Structure 1
């Protein structure tokens, strides 16, 4: 059985760890609220913009050639893997790394794959691999705002238009709630064509556009893609804080259970020590009486 000093030191260590995990849980909860507000405000705008764009582009009847929708034989692929900068958030980062490697090894097997890591965890993982990297934007989470994300999206879009890549895929955690984050593999480029059913086509809203449908598509498509990229970043950011909050909550609960067991061991050890001391005193007294 461990001595009292060792058990006491273990109790103090676990108590300190519990205080740290509690503080990290509170910090994650505060950051999650702000991140959740951003993504919940962005989603309706992004979805409505995409719906209008699909409506107008489908109504163009092929007269407008959208450069970002051009499909080519897929030979060169860009995988944008979005993780966090920090750990202590459960399987948040490992899920993205696993999904990225699975896509590279199976879906894009035999293709020329380039990786754009976003987040230090993705950068640290993929820099040890043999894949070509676009590492200029991996620090986007140092300050989550639209301007740096816009620059990263523009670089990807320009590379696609120039033919550097035939397909661009985003892999990130989509925020559902505090306890649930879903790994999403989303085709960013070329723009996926939406096949409409006959009933949907009949119910499609007609928009009056000025100066022309072609001009609106030319202006809307790049902005829509940048917002789609930004939404993925916001989703990942909110998911990170939700995952960290959940992980720290579980760690705090586990520390409480461990403290309970350690205090039980401490009390038993102390009682055993007291009992041994009493036995030694009684034995000494009996020995003196015998003399």
Structure 2
């Protein structure tokens, strides 16, 4: 059994860890509320914009989406991996890394080259060891707003339009609640063809300007909104995952501290009993 000093040192160490994990839990809980409100408020707008784009484009003939809807033979794919800059968030980052590696292996089996655009430091640190990371952005989450997300969306769009990549996909954690994050893989470009079963039938409207102009205006806005929503989802999911992980860590540390205190008390009691026996034995020896 460890001596009393060692047990006391371990108890002090565990209590210090508890203070850190408890503080991180409270910080993430405070940030989660704001991030959750942001993504909850944004989803209806993003869904309505997509619905509007689908309804208008479905009534047009021919390829009105231009370069954004061009379906080319897929030879080269860019996977946008959205992770966080900080760890201690459970399986938040590792799930994205695992999904990116699975996609890479799947494309490799089809003789398709897959490269990675890493948004977030943690994803880049792991993926650069096994995948080809062509670009990294770690500053976006320091100031996450639509303008900064739009710049990245424009850069991705340019990579597709120029023919550098035949397909671009987003991999990120979708926020469901504080304890649950869902790994999502979304096709960013080209715009996926819309099946008639997915369309919502609407009345016939008179459009001004023409439908073609509306579609060509909505597509870039829709792409920027899609990326921004994915980033907002990931940001909220990160704080939810970290809050849950730190809550579990604090509970485990509390349990470990209680076990160490019990062990300490047992060892202390055994030491006291031993000392009493020595005193009694010495007294009896003096009497003899």
Q: Scaled by the length of structure 1, what TM-score is found?
A: 0.95
Matching residue of 2:91: 91
| SS of match in other structure, 1:78 | strand
State which of 217, 226, 229 in structure 1 corresponds to 2:227: 229
2:248 matched to which residue of 1?
250
Using the TM superposition, give the Cα deviation of residue 131 of structure 1 relative to its aligned residue in structure 2, in angstroms: 1.1
Cα distance change of structure 1 residues 132 and 241 upon mapping to structure 2, 3 Å threshold? closer
CA distance in 2: counterparts of 1:125 and 1:52, whole angstroms = 39
How many pairs align?
287
Q: 1:108 to 1:218 in 2, by over 3 A?
A: farther
Partner of 2:207: 209
Distance 1:63 1:75, change over 3 A: closer
Contact between 2:65 and 2:216, CA under 8 Å: does it hold in 1?
Answer: no
Residue 275 of structure 1 corresponds to: 273
Following superposition, the deviation at residue 138 of structure 1 comes to 3.4
Q: In 2, are the aligned partners of 1:24 and 1:245 still within 8 Å (CA)?
A: yes
CA distance in 2, matches of 1:126, 1:205: 48
Q: CA deviation at 1:74?
A: 0.3
Question: Where does 1:1-291 land on structure 2 (aligned, <5 Å)?
Answer: 1-62=1-62, 64-109=64-109, 110-135=111-136, 137-197=137-197, 203-290=201-288
Q: How far off its partner does 1:183 sit?
A: 0.5
Shift, 1:63, TM fit: 5.9
- Secondary structure of 1:129's counterpart equals coil
Which ranges in structure 1 are unaligned for 5 or more consecutive residues?
none
- Alignment root-mean-square deviation, CA: 1.4
Flag structure 2 segments of 5+ consecutive residues without an equivalent.
none
Residues 36-72 of structure 1: per-residue CA shift (max 9 Å, x gap)? 1111111000000000000000011226243211100
Q: Is the contact between residue 107 and residue 113 of structure 2 (CA under 8 Å) also seen in structure 1? A: no
Query: CA–CA distance in 1 between the matches of 2:102 and 2:128?
Result: 17
Verify the 8 A CA contact 2:176 2:182 in the aligned structure 1.
yes
2 CA distance for matches of 1:49 and 1:204?
14
Aligned residue for 1:114, secondary structure, equals strand
1:89 and 1:233 map into 2 onto residues whose CA distance is 16
The separation in 1 between residues aligned to 2:106 and 2:25, in whole angstroms, is 37
Cα drift, residue 241 of structure 1: 0.2
